[in-house]
Chains A and B, each alone.
Chain A
Amino acid sequence: MLGKTALSTLCASRQAPITLAARGIANIPAHEYHIRFDQKVGRKRPAQDVLDRFKRLNNGMWIHAHPGRHKLRYMKDETWQKTSLYYETCTKEQCEILDKLMTPYWLRPKHYPNDPYSAYNVRHNVTSPRVDDRGNFVRERKKVLMDDSTSKRFFKDC
């Protein structure tokens, strides 16, 4: 009895609220700063801004370059010319926030051949609650070793 146009109109009106209610990357609230569960992947998504601007050493320290260090250098004094090229450490609060914005993959220690950062990936004489009684950093999550078939079956997206 009902026509084709009426049926399509009814379905379209029903789907509209679902599309509008979905959260995109632009609609993240400021107090969260990161996506807990991506709607496509179904798991946490690292903040791309952090990956673009910061680097994490294997001891949990984050370092970053100075913003604007390539702009208008000729107008600035000698001290700024020198110190603007430093890669500086982040404070404790910033490191905690940056750790929250990352997925466990990026928090894992990574080793590269001929890594210039290899000498700085370890800390000497640091005693803090982040270090357990065996001297390991608590927050550093080791990779679980498993066979290839199991990893392909359950962790193909790692």
Chain B
Amino acid sequence: MSAAQYARLVPKKYRSKTLPKIDRPWRPRVIAWAGPAAFYPNRFYEVDKWYKARIDKPEKLPEMHIIEPAEHMKSLKVLMQKSEIEQINIGFKRREVAGKAEKSAEDRIELERKSRHMQLKIDIDHLDVENLSIYRHFQVFDHLFGDNIFFENVQNLQVNFENDIVVHSGNVITANSTLKRPEITIESVGNGGGFNTLLMINLDGNALDLGKNGEIVQWMISNIPDGEAISAGSEIIDYLQPLPFYGTGYHRVAFVLFRHEKPVDFQIQGNSLDTRIHEISKFYKKHEATITPSAIRFFQTSYDNSVKMALHGLGMTSPLYEYEHRPALKPAQREFPEKPQPFDLYLDMYRDPKEVEQEMLEKRLAEVKLDYVKEPKWVDTDYVENKKKLPAWLHAKKLERDGVGHAKYHNDL
């Protein structure tokens, strides 16, 4: 009810004069000395500051949404769709596959019977498993040739490392398996003419501080006659195993096959590691009128001991990289904080990170043993005694799992 309606119900006349015009029927008559406690209906009432403002509490309206007048006829699904960027195909058109025959009714019945009796065998090698979205996901095309670029695999390119390790679309291969050059099989187009050029490119290998942009060309064989082995071509850049440095994570190594009608003299060198750095997009732009990409494969590899041995063979030391985190945001340190702070957390914020790392390493080395190490079942076996004796901050440090316990069993010592 409003204040005016309430004033009419009050039997005594003087109350309607002194009451302020707000909707608070339980407000007592004495206001000056009572304090805010006088305005609570009971002690569980939430404090509402508007009682002193002598105005009504502002009403919160629900949030409104803007409706475009030109598009109000479209459904929500249409409005939510993202606009697709046009992709540029720089390769060949995909060849027409030999017509897949439609299964007849009798064949379907026979296949269903075999499937029910678990006698149906599918030849996986003959399935078409080409999927370019993996290359888009790993941005292989973007980093090799530029944004919104793709091309189709029109020639069957088979890359086999030793021990029958096959390069597919982004599978992980250890660096130890890539010591020797792989066996390459290139499908013949069948016209009898034309040449192929194969490049093996490490997209993420340019980690040296040389100031050169580009990717590392691990291997290059040019002018391979169509239908013949790669030994018939000329090896411009010798094979070098991919070198993912320590701490740089997984490297994408791609095999790109280019096709051209006439032999091409590529002006490109690769004697040492720094001269192997080339920008493939510029290389392709230079020979764009002649060569066309026709096949691509890529795999991922990361650091192991063979990389170090290969670098020592090249006369280099193995560089060690680590992730450089952004510095943590902290308030400026005070010699005496103005508000009370937990001293261990406050001082830990401003400690030297090297000192913290050294302390952590000493703890790990003190706990790592030569025999079989198993994570303990209990974090603190003497919990009750330690809770009594130790200060609470020390006990909390003992109980935390992500410090000592986590690093002990998840580090590479």
A residues sitting closer than 8 Å to B (CB atoms) are: 57, 61, 63, 65, 83, 85-92, 95, 116, 119-120, 123-126, 128, 130
Contact = CB atoms under 8 A, between A and B. Distances in A.
Given A116-B394, A125-B350, A86 B342 contact: yes
A88 B336 contact: no
30 contacts: A61-B336, A61-B343, A65-B392, A83-B342, A85-B392, A85-B393, A86-B392, A87-B342, A87-B344, A87-B391, A87-B392, A87-B393, A88-B341, A88-B342, A89-B337, A89-B340, A89-B341, A90-B336, A91-B337, A95-B336, A116-B394, A119-B351, A119-B355, A120-B343, A123-B335, A123-B350, A124-B350, A124-B351, A124-B352, A125-B350
B346 interface: yes
Contacts of A119: 347, 351, 355, 359
Contacts of B333: 124-126
A130 B131 CA distance: 69
Nearest to A93: B336
A65 B344 CA distance: 12
B375 interface: no
A155 B338 CA distance: 39
A3 to B, nearest CB: 66
Nearest to B359: A119
Contacts of A130: 335
A138 to B, nearest CB: 12
B216 to A, nearest CB: 42
Interface in B343-362: 343-347, 350-352, 355, 359
B286 to A, nearest CB: 54
Contacts of B343: 57, 61, 63, 87-89, 120
A18 B393 CA distance: 51
Nearest to B350: A124
Nearest to A95: B336
- Which of B333, B343, B344 is the most central at the interface, judged by chain A CB atoms within 10 Å of its CB? B343
A130 B396 CA distance: 32
Contacts of B337: 89, 91
Nearest to A69: B392
A133 B378 CA distance: 49
Interface of B: 333, 335-347, 350-352, 355, 359, 391-394, 396
Contacts of B350: 123-125
A126 B355 CA distance: 17
A92 B336 contact: yes
A49 B340 CA distance: 20
A120 B342 contact: no
A95 B346 CA distance: 17
The 7 closest A-B CB pairs, nearest first, are A85-B392, A86-B342, A88-B340, A92-B336, A63-B343, A128-B335, A120-B347
B78 to A, nearest CB: 48
A24 to B, nearest CB: 33
Nearest to B391: A87
Contacts of A124: 333, 350-352
Nearest to A60: B335
A133 B44 CA distance: 58
A120 B341 CA distance: 14
A119 to B, nearest CB: 7
Nearest to B352: A124
Given A89-B336, A116-B391, 7 more contacts: A63-B343, A86-B345, A88-B342, A90-B340, A123-B335, A126-B333, A130-B335
B395 to A, nearest CB: 9
Contacts of A63: 343
A95 B359 CA distance: 29
Contacts of B359: 119
Nearest to B398: A116
A30 to B, nearest CB: 24
A87 to B, nearest CB: 6
Contact of B396 (A83, A85, A95, A126): A85
Nearest to B390: A116
Contacts of B392: 65, 85-87
A89 B352 contact: no
A126 B335 CA distance: 6
A78 to B, nearest CB: 15
Given A123-B335, A126-B335, A91 B393 contact: no
Nearest to A127: B335
B384 to A, nearest CB: 15
Contacts of B342: 83, 86-89
Nearest to B332: A125
A124 B354 CA distance: 12
B336 A120 contact: no
Contacts of A126: 333, 335
Given A63-B343, A124-B350, A124-B351, A86 B335 contact: no
Contacts of A92: 335-336, 338
A125 B333 CA distance: 8
A95 B338 CA distance: 12
